[in-house]
Structure 1
Amino acid sequence: MKLHSALLVALLACVPVAGMAADAAVAVGQAPGKVGAAGRVSAKAKVEAVDAATRTVTFKGEKGNVFEVVAGDEVKNFDQIKVGDVLTVTYAEAIAFELKKGGKGVRERREATDAVAAAPGEKPAGAAGRRMIIVADVTKVDHKAGTVTLRGPKQSRTLKVDDPAKLKNVKVGDQVEVTYVEAVALEIGAK
């Protein structure tokens, strides 16, 4: 079954992750002409109350914060949510840059999204993800300032590079392919 991405985004916006117990991980890697980074954060909150009439679930984070979420009709298996269950929210994102020498590609932006929900009878859960790929032209390289200007299909951006030496092989006319991926997963489980 599909769970609307907007629903997950709305639910995630209601979850004050900073007030919940969270664990996080970050990874960074690079190779000639490539650089990437990825990160993940997970947080938990306990179900304090369930109001079936209004489909409102009251959560309490491990730092004591209390918040409510109204679950629309899109949330399947709502009737299985019980006081004492634990909500786990996991958010992950990654970005990668790859230099394409010679710039023979077309500037473009491609985007895809997908979402899934728990099957009937399973504990309430859902996940949504988005992947975006942008191919941009290198229009300016400023070695002194340590910046590179990229022109994508809709706009130009000047980016500061952490180590200006990484720009030594980047030339006007090259292209950069940027891949950005983000995902959020929500799961209600027993204590």
Structure 2
Amino acid sequence: MKKRMSGFPLACAMICATATLAPAAFAATETIPVTGALTTSELTGTVTVVDQERRMLTIQTPEGTFEVIHVPDQVTRLDQVKIGNKLTINQTDAVVVDLQKGPGTGSVSVTKETVTERAPGNKPGGTIVNTMTRSGRVEAVDKANSTVTVRGPTQTQTYTVRDPALLNSVVPGDGVVLTYMHVLRGEVKFR
């Protein structure tokens, strides 16, 4: 399984995180990216078992190991995957933390969205994008201890800030938005 870092999808995630604001609110709101991270992995192998009832596939990797994969319900062409097919799955996880300042910021909420896109052609394949956005409000800033307290949808937590200079622009009432994206892309190649 290979892992690599990339900035392009992270930039896309940052754009997606700010695109959900209403145009009028966006004009009066300043969004400041605080931090972000991205990991990508790839799994490739030959299908050795197809269990449609339990929605499981077993593949043998080029290194000879076996991997069991749970197939999400959004995959509609599992019945077309056969023993001997080559399967490639790419998984990307991105997280972006933004600080929002201005009127209307500081709401507390959680939103989730799943988007599925089927790949064109007769071979099973496509992309599933799960996005979760958690919005919170800054309750307290302690510059002496480099901490910020954020009220989220389910609890209030205090976080230590690695770069104390970031706290110079944070005040109680500011909004904090954490966007997490899980992108799963799969492709089956027939023998």
Aligned to 2:92: 92
Preserved CA contact (<8 Å) 2:126 2:187: yes
Deviations 1:159-189 (A, max 9, x none): 2322122222111222212222221122212
Aligned to 2:187: 187
The offset of 1:57, in angstroms, is 4.5
Structure 1 residues 144 and 26: CA distance shift in structure 2, 3 A: farther
Preserved CA contact (<8 Å) 2:42 2:91: yes
Structure 1 residues 66 and 113: CA distance shift in structure 2, 3 A: same
| CA–CA separation in structure 2 for the residues paired with 1:169 and 1:102 | 12
Compute the TM-score of the two structures, normalised by the length of structure 2: 0.68
Preserved CA contact (<8 Å) 2:119 2:127: no
The offset of 1:62, in angstroms, is 2.8
| Pairs within 5 Å for 1:1-191 | 21-27=1-7, 33-35=32-34, 36-48=36-48, 57-68=57-68, 75-76=76-77, 78-83=79-84, 85-102=85-102, 104-105=104-105, 106-117=107-118, 122-190=122-190
| CA–CA separation in structure 2 for the residues paired with 1:178 and 1:56 | 32
Unmatched 5+ residue regions in structure 1?
1-20
Q: What is the one-letter code of the residue matched to 1:24?
A: R
Preserved CA contact (<8 Å) 1:76 1:117: no
Aligned to 2:27: none
Deviations 1:64-83 (A, max 9, x none): 21244586996416345341
Structure 1 residues 101 and 77: CA distance shift in structure 2, 3 A: closer
The alignment's C-alpha RMSD in Å is 3.5
Aligned to 1:11: none
Preserved CA contact (<8 Å) 1:77 1:122: no
Compute the TM-score of the two structures, normalised by the length of structure 1: 0.68
| CA–CA separation in structure 2 for the residues paired with 1:177 and 1:72 | 27
The offset of 1:124, in angstroms, is 1.9
Q: What is the one-letter code of the residue matched to 2:59?
A: F
Structure 1 residues 139 and 90: CA distance shift in structure 2, 3 A: same
Unmatched 5+ residue regions in structure 2?
15-30
How many residues get paired?
168
Q: What is the one-letter code of the residue matched to 1:78?
A: D
Q: What is the one-letter code of the residue matched to 1:187?
A: E
The offset of 1:116, in angstroms, is 3.8
Q: % of aligned pairs identical?
A: 27
| CA–CA separation in structure 2 for the residues paired with 1:52 and 1:131 | 27
